[in-house]
Amino acid sequence: MENDEENEDEKEDEKMSKYCNPLIFIIIFLVVLVILMLSLVVFWKLEVGESCPKNCPELPNECKTAECVALAGTLLSWQNTSVDPCEDFYEYTCGKYHEHTANEGTRMHEKDEIVLNLIKHFILKNQSTNSRSEIALKLLYKSCTESHRRENIEDHIERVQVEIFQNIQKIGKWPIADKNWKESDFDLNEMLTNMAKLHMQDFGFFETGLVEYPINGSPKQLIIRPSLDRFSISQEKLAETIFDVLRFSGHDALRKNLLRDVQESLDLDKELGNFYISLNSWPISASLEEVQSAVPNIDFERIMKSFLHPEHGNWTRLKAKISSGRFDSFFNSKNNISAIISRTKPRILANYLILKYIEYAQFFYALAPISLESEYDTCLMVITSFLPRAAIRVFVRNHFKKENKAVASELVDVIKKAYIEMIQNSTWLHEETRKKAILKVETLKKVIGYTEEYEKEGALDAMFETNLRISESIMLGNHFQLHLSPQDSFFTLMTKINRFKTEQLMEYVSSDSLFNPVEKTTTANAYYYHSKNLLSVLVPFLDKPLFDFQYPKYVAMAGVGRILAHEIGHAFDTKGRHFNELGEKTDWWTPEDSVEYDKRVMCLRDQFENFKDPSYGGRQNDSETASEMVADALGLEASWIALESMDMSKEESLVKFGNEDFRKLFFQVAALDFCSPTRIDTHHPRFLVDLSHPTNRFRINGAFSNLESFAKTYECPVGSRMNPEKKCRMF
């Protein structure tokens, strides 16, 4: 029996060992796991089937370009979701802005600094280049920085004084510096002409300048007008400056006679400044021939011709664009500048003209000594201001996506259609006003980045090309050459560049071009010009993070699109509404519409007056602020209409925003451009000056609260701060 029991135990052990095999347990575990997973899948499908029985929406594709990812990060980082968007949308969108930037302004201001730093980085790179525009930039920047270092500033000033005296000799004989000077040496028009050749446009007796206002059918004019600027320094300071010019040039002057001569020039300048210059006389134009007849002492035609390039300037075209106004200093029959010239001694006239040049020339060495550790780079400002096309070419060539330009141009067209729709749907505009408002939108001109003549590959640099040696000449225009040399002093470089800019300006006045060659181009901004009915959009404004051609449509319309719509809104602001489609100042509104318009503007003003902004304590300029508020109101309405006209079915979402309503993202992106640091500091400059624009907080909370579309998108209850019962609407 014992043996039988032992046999039974052995069999039982064998049986247990078979069931305890690890492989069997693993198989059983996997089977159970599969059953559980299948059960979960079936359960999930049942749940989904109940929530969307027909067409369950798919998550949209995400825009994963670097620009889109960065934008998504900005939205998430800057927003403060603990704030109710219906109570304070500024804080909801921008509440944490100050935690993520050291910038003292908005992201547009930061873009300005980025563009300048990119240009500076390029200039300072130790990299050779065959581009003559780049060589010009580097040459001017190097000369500026070296001349204005503290250890070099004294030598620089001394050299400038010598070169000023050399230019004076080109203008004419100077009684103060020439003991043998006699009246027969004086030739008024010869001196004025030579001053013009040195790029002077203010001669004390009169000045010339570009005015972009339609006169006699021409949108651009070279205007002859009374000189507004009088001597800004004292007799002693002016005499001291003159003494330095003479001393460094190896000439002596008696101090007593010098003070007398200076005082005589100051007295003449004061007499010329006594004329009453009425703005009311400005619209009454006078031709070049009429001004010449009124002031026969001055050969205006000869002087104007000297502004042109001696070989390629077109006098016939320029002459047709020259005009003036019937100012007392020209047309007063009893006393005008002609009478003053006739009764003033030639010695005084000669000294006066030279002193005007000396005061003007001081600008070129008035720059403070430059510290390499300084955050403000004066010389960078110099090159971007005096060689604006060359500067922007560096940015376009190395950093700008040209596709952005085309997409932005299309955006403008979409916005124009939205404006026309908004005007057509106005409940209060009379038909006469409505038609003229639509015509103004339809005829609006645009310059997106730069004009067509620079569209071709390499065109921006072609204007700088020449076959001459680099050290001898740099070409900066289609027909004009700017001769720059490494041996030129900073003062000489600036004199040559300013002379060239004068020639460019005359070419611009004579032509039909919309691209002003002397305007600064490196800021991230857009502008509307009343007198030209022109929208001008600068290149940096069309670059990341503000814009990218691959942004979803709702992002592009909310960012750059809204600002473009704002600028177009200036066509109908408190100033722009007084200009017609040609840029002529005229009243094209019916009396009833003017009254209604003013009521609606007053609504905005009252709204702003009652708006509490803890970050600002200064006064507001009502006139300027009203214009900006009107442009904000119209721009937001137009950009929303444009957004609603677009097909968004295939637009990508932003990373981390999933199925977020693109309408909500539209308002969030639109608000980003107004995010700025909050300063509750009564010593901050913003508390000490009048602002021309409403505060950034108002431009979000105030402007957005007037939109029914915003209240509907965020489901804000009536009576909440972002959905007040009373709203201010324009059209």
- 155 located within any domain: yes
The residue-averaged pLDDT of 691-698 equals: 84
Answer with the residue of higher pLDDT: 456 or 129: 129
Using the predicted structure, report yes or no on whether residue 433 has a pLDDT greater than 90. Answer: yes
Surface-to-core class of residue 42, CB atoms within 10 Å of its CB (0-12 exposed, 13-18 middle, 19+ buried): exposed
- 64 located within any domain: no
Confidence (pLDDT) at 252: 64
The residue-averaged pLDDT of 684-695 equals: 60
For 587, half-sphere exposure in the C-beta direction (CA atoms, 13 angstrom radius) is 6
CB 662 within 8 Å of CB 554 = yes
Confidence label for 686 from pLDDT (cuts 50, 70 and 90): very low
Confidence (pLDDT) at 257: 82
Using the predicted structure, report yes or no on whether residue 471 has a pLDDT greater than 50. Answer: no
The residue-averaged pLDDT of 69-92 equals: 96
CB 142 within 8 Å of CB 380 = no
Query: Tell me: the pLDDT tens digits for 614-665?
Result: 766 555 555 568 999 999 999 999 999 999 999 998 999 999 998 889 999 9
Query: Tell me: the pLDDT tens digits for 534-587?
Result: 999 999 999 999 999 999 999 999 999 999 999 999 999 999 999 999 999 999
What order of strands is seen across the sheet that includes strand 534-537? Answer: 445-448, 534-537, 526-529
In sequence order, which residues have a C-beta less than 8 Å from that of residue 73 and are 6 or more positions away?
Answer: none
Query: Tell me: the pLDDT tens digits for 492-519?
Result: 999 999 999 999 899 999 988 888 888 8
Confidence label for 709 from pLDDT (cuts 50, 70 and 90): very high
- 195 located within any domain: yes
Closest by CA to 263, choosing from 236, 226, 296, is 236
Confidence (pLDDT) at 124: 92
Helices (H), 610-661: 622-645
Instruction: Report the alpha-carbon distance of residue 640 to residue 399 in Å, rounded.
Output: 31
Provide the mean pLDDT of the chain: 85
Confidence (pLDDT) at 647: 93
- 442 located within any domain: no
Instruction: Report the alpha-carbon distance of residue 616 to residue 564 in Å, rounded.
Output: 26
Query: Tell me: the pLDDT tens digits for 374-413?
Result: 556 889 999 999 999 889 989 998 999 999 999 999 999 9
Residue 330's region, left for phi above 0, alpha for psi from -120 to 50, else beta, is alpha
Domain that holds residue 280: 138-376
Query: Tell me: the pLDDT tens digits for 228-282?
Result: 889 988 888 888 889 888 888 777 655 568 889 999 999 999 999 998 776 554 5
Neighbours of 406 (CB within 10 A): 13
Task: Report the predicted TM-score, pTM, of the whole model to 2 decimal places.
Answer: 0.84
Q: Structural domain tally of the chain?
A: 1
Confidence (pLDDT) at 14: 53
Answer with the residue of higher pLDDT: 64 or 692: 64
Confidence (pLDDT) at 279: 56
The residue-averaged pLDDT of 328-350 equals: 95
- 57 located within any domain: no
Indicate which CATH number applies to the domain containing 237: 1.10.1380.10
